[in-house]
Structure formats: structure tokens, C-alpha cells
Amino acid sequence: MKKILLFSVLAIIFNACEKSTSGCTEPAAVNYNIHADYDDGNCTYISDIVFYEDVAAAVYFDILGVEWLDLSVDGEYIGTLDATLGLTYIPDCNEIDAITFSLEWVDSHSSSFTWTIRDENGFKHYEGFEAVIPNDCLQIELTFKKIQEYKESK
């Protein structure tokens, strides 16, 4: 009887001392750990982004003689777009006639970024600010109207 009581006490102590697991406990994160008992503060989030221009913006750039547009996000070059290729539809995040990229951030359920579009001579035609959530396909359209409003604000 003493052995059964001793083993029972030891089993209770052993189960109470079970090792906990740290990790990301947020299901929207790419490094979500279903087995984590507590969050270690290192959740990583990703969102896909597609940048494109409408037909009116493409006509505007064609009239100006602008051939290429460079997109920068938070000061980092992301890609180059044919300035005279305007889309008549809203593309998905796999569009080959647009600039597509993924934005990654840590420890926040949302993020934001500033984007800048410059022509091949370095002239800034627009600067915008966007908020993004995880696992999204954010479509950013550069329109002639945005360009005009930006020019008027400067």
C-alpha cells in the first residue's frame, strides 16, 4: 500500500512539473506553434502586395515620355513597372504585369508602410501610406487622380 501511495505522489509531482513550451501562439502568424503554452513574443506575419497602375496613369506617363517606374517601400527598392502599361482590372497577388512582393513583420497583428514611386530619372510622382494585415493580398493602385492630388499638395 505504501508503494502505491508513493508512486501516486511521484506521478502527481511529475505531472505538475511538466515542461512548458514557448512559441508563437497567434494562429495568423506563419510560425504559429500549436503546442506552445505561452507566447515568446516572436510571431512573424506576412502579407502579399500587388502594385499596379490604371490606364489613365499609363496614358499620363506615356504623354510625359516616362517609360519605367521604380517602387520603393520604406526606402527600399522593390521593383520596376512598365509606366505605359495600365490595367483595366484589379490584379491578384500573382499578376505578372504588376509589381508583387511580400511584406514581413514581427510581433504585431498589423503593420504599415510608406511607398514611393519614381520615374527612371528619379522624379517622385507619388508617395503613399498603407496599412496591412496578415495573410492578405493588398492591391495598391496608382491612379491618375492620385498623381494629380499629390502634385497639387506639393
The pLDDT confidence band at residue 17, using thresholds 50, 70 and 90, is low
Q: Give yes or no for residue 121 having a pLDDT over 90.
A: yes
Can you tell me the mean pLDDT for 88-94?
95
- Asked if 69 and 129 sit in the same domain, the reply is yes
The number of helices, as runs of H, and strands, as runs of E, in the chain is: 3, 9
The average confidence (pLDDT) of the chain is 90
Position 78, amino acid: I
On whether both 35 and 72 belong to a single domain, the answer is no
Burial class (CB in 10 A: 0-12, 13-18, 19+), 111: middle
115 or 13, which is more confident: 115
Tracing cell 482590372 back to the chain, one arrives at 89
Other C-beta atoms within 10 Å of 46: how many?
15
Given this model, what pLDDT does residue 5 score? 52
- Domain of 58 in residue numbering reads as 44-153
CB 21 within 8 A of CB 36: yes
- Cα distances from 124 to residues 36, 107, 113, 147, in angstroms, run 46, 32, 17, 10
Instruction: Specify whether 137 is located in the same domain as 61.
Output: yes
**DSSP bridge pairs for 126:** 117
Is residue 96 located within the same domain as residue 109? yes
pLDDT-derived band at 107, boundaries 50, 70, 90: confident
* Phi, psi torsion values for 106, nearest 5 degrees: -125, 140
Is the model more confident about 113 or about 6?
113
C-alpha cell at 149: 492630388
Q: Where residue 82 sits, what CATH number does that domain have?
A: 2.60.40.1120
Q: Which pLDDT belongs to residue 18? A: 57
Give the total number of structural domains in the chain. Answer: 2
Q: What is the per-residue pLDDT for 38?
A: 87
What value does the mean pLDDT take over residues 68-95?
A: 97
Distance CA 152, CA 91 (A): 28
CB contact at 8 A, 71 and 120: no
pTM, two decimal places: 0.81
Question: Would you say residue 6 has pLDDT above 60?
Answer: no
